[in-house]
Amino acid sequence: MYQFDRAEYEKRMAWYTQARFGMFIHWGLYAIPARGEWVRSVEEIKKEDYMPYFEEFDPVDYDPRKWAKAAKAAGMQYMVLTSKHHDGFCLFDSQYTDFKSTNTKCGRDLVREFLEAGRAEGLKVGLYFSLLDWVHEDYPHYGDRNHPMRFNEEYQNEGRNFDNYLTYMHNQVRELCTNYGKLDILWFDFSYEDKYNVMRGEKWKATELVNMVRELQPEVIIDNRLEVSGDGFGSLWECDPKPYHGDFVSPEQIIPPNGIQDKEGNDMAWEACVTMNNNWGYCENDRFFKPASMLIKKLVECVSKGGNLLLNVGPDAKGNIPPESMEILGEIGAWMDKNSESIYGCGKAGMEKPDTGRITRKGDTLYYHLFENTIGPMPLMGVKKDEVQYIRSLATGAEVPFANSWVQGPYPDIVFADLGPDPVLPDPVDTVLKVQLK
């Protein structure tokens, strides 16, 4: 019978809940057609019609040191790369397939270089690994919910041996856990159901898989997608953790309205994975990028709700992060340079969200994130004046005095900060007040 060890869990999670901000990287052959990482499934492309991208793949500009430096400059604390996406192409030198980067024109183990670059910048490093595999002959084809040949009757599943696929998949995970040094995160993707199969949990031989991973990488953090997809919470949420439970919940393209609590109401670790535009993998025509100002506020929102933000970039076929993404990362980094104290190691304040922004908390320090100014002095809801030791501008360290205006007279129980005569906040995106409690 599996016994969940809360102390061991919290020990391995400590750096992760401190970090709060990471970079997701979706990259592979699909950067060449440049229509997103699901292109083979969406367009129902046959294997033989996808293979020319394999023959062409040669990311001449690939320099993961640039990626790692960009992540660090943006204030990110960890990076996660797709070692293998659903198309089955491996960015690492697996002995179990020929469908890998070392067999392309580039001839390099791209995962090894990525991990070394991230560690060199002092970042935690992780690998995404797809449980799906559209190139493996023993993975279900016809009738599967996602396979490119799901509707093609020429690709029936007779003669396919799923156990052979599981052996292959487990062997590849073993390679990643054995050949590349310490991994901080393993990001599996994903479980689902279709009319023929329930592709969840023990369908993947998940207990056996996680036991192997824990033996080889005892401190690694694992997401919850051996059990669910981005639309579910998993057995830790059920308060009945399975041996393959996720260490964190992984909502996708959404920030949970109230954070995430388990069935008994206890706060859980979670991470919102979010794209900068509308695709994970490089998409040539997708220019719908979220502005840096929005993403800064969404990072703050995640932290104020007790979660992390994993922000995605999709490098192009040559290995370059798109210039729009680089510009956004730079703007986020400029804000983080002055305000990261209100992000790292912070979490929920235990207070109602104020009208003017959000609040994050670290121990006896509150950080009031002001997204907009108020009329008159700034109310600091949730605290009393005799509880406050001082108020400072986080960006400059300058004292922010308590307001003492006749207009606040009717509200004696509310603390007001005097931000001065300028109606425009010093930082129009997010001006942070550090409120030190006694």
Please report, for the domain that includes residue 242, its CATH number.
3.20.20.80
Model pTM? Answer: 0.97
Residues 181 and 249 in one domain: yes
The helix/strand/coil state of 199 is strand
* Nearest to 218, CA basis, from 187, 183, 169, 175: 183
Buried b (16+ CB within 10 A) or exposed e, 97-117: bebbbbebeeebbbbbbbbeb
Does residue 412 lie within any of the structural domains? yes
List the Cα angle 296/299/301 in 5-degree steps: 110
* Nearest to 331, CA basis, from 131, 97, 70, 149: 70
Residues 335 and 424 in one domain: no
Q: Report residue 350: phi and psi, to 5°.
A: 75, 25
Average pLDDT over residues 321-346: 98
Does residue 246 lie within any of the structural domains? yes
Does residue 350 lie within any of the structural domains? no
pLDDT at 149 over 80: yes
Q: How far apart are CA 45 and CA 31, in angstroms?
A: 15
96: number of Cβ within 10 Å? 16
Starting at the edge strand that comes first in sequence, how are the strands of the sheet with 357-362 ordered?
357-362, 365-370, 431-437, 388-393
Six-digit token pair at 422?
């300028």
What's residue 232's pLDDT? 87
Average pLDDT over residues 379-385: 95
Average pLDDT over residues 47-67: 98
Backbone conformation region of residue 54, classed left if phi is above 0, alpha if psi is from -120 to 50, else beta: alpha
Residues 135 and 243 in one domain: yes
Residues 107 and 232 in one domain: yes
Residues 235 and 327 in one domain: yes
Does residue 53 lie within any of the structural domains? yes
Q: Residue 424 belongs to a domain with what CATH number? A: 2.60.40.1180
Does residue 136 lie within any of the structural domains? yes
What's residue 196's pLDDT? 75
pLDDT at 102 over 80: yes
Last residue of a domain, one of 280, 314, 342: 342
Q: What pLDDT digit, counting tens, does each position of 182-228 carry?
A: 999 999 999 999 777 899 999 999 999 999 999 999 999 999 999 99
Q: Is the separation of the CB atoms in 285 and 277 below 8 Å? A: no
Residues 293 and 385 in one domain: no
Mean pLDDT of the chain, nearest integer: 97
What's residue 194's pLDDT? 77
Q: What pLDDT digit, counting tens, does each position of 288-311 carry?
A: 999 999 999 999 999 999 999 999
Residues 55 and 185 in one domain: yes
Residues 282 and 400 in one domain: no
Residues 329 and 362 in one domain: no
DSSP secondary structure, 107-161, as one string? ---HHHHHHHHHHHTT-EEEEEEES--SS-TTS--TT-SS-TTTT-GGG--TT--
In the block, tokens 């790369």 appear at 81
Six-digit token pair at 197?
């199969």
Average pLDDT over residues 152-178: 98
pLDDT at 119 over 90: yes
Residues 231 and 272 in one domain: yes
Q: What pLDDT digit, counting tens, does each position of 19-42 carry?
A: 999 999 999 999 999 999 999 999
Task: Return the bridge partners of 130, or none.
Answer: 189
Does residue 347 lie within any of the structural domains? no
Last residue of a domain, one of 307, 342, 377: 342
Q: Is the separation of the CB atoms in 425 and 373 below 8 Å? A: yes
Range of the domain at 399: 357-437
Residues 158 and 62 in one domain: yes
Tally of domains in the chain: 2
Average pLDDT over residues 264-269: 98
Residues contacting residue 195 through CB under 8 Å, at least 6 positions apart: 143
pLDDT at 276 over 90: yes
Does residue 352 lie within any of the structural domains? no
* Nearest to 172, CA basis, from 85, 105, 76, 52: 85
Query: Of the ranges 105-119, 191-205, 244-258, 301-315, which one carries the lowest mean pLDDT score?
Result: 191-205
Q: Report residue 203: phi and psi, to 5°.
A: -60, -30
The helix/strand/coil state of 189 is strand
Helix (H) or strand (E) holding 84: strand 78-84
Last residue of a domain, one of 316, 342, 368: 342
* Nearest to 282, CA basis, from 318, 258, 251: 318
pLDDT at 368 over 90: yes
What's residue 197's pLDDT? 82
Q: Is the separation of the CB atoms in 411 and 375 below 8 Å? A: no
Does residue 140 lie within any of the structural domains? yes
* Nearest to 213, CA basis, from 223, 225, 222: 222
Query: Of the ranges 2-6, 99-103, 265-269, which one carries the lowest mean pLDDT score?
Result: 2-6
Buried b (16+ CB within 10 A) or exposed e, 42-55: eeebebeebeebbe
Q: How far apart are CA 325 and CA 235, in angstroms?
A: 35
pLDDT bin (cut points 50, 70, 90) of residue 271 is: very high
Q: How far apart are CA 37 and CA 54, in angstroms?
A: 14
Residues 94 and 201 in one domain: yes
What's residue 203's pLDDT? 97
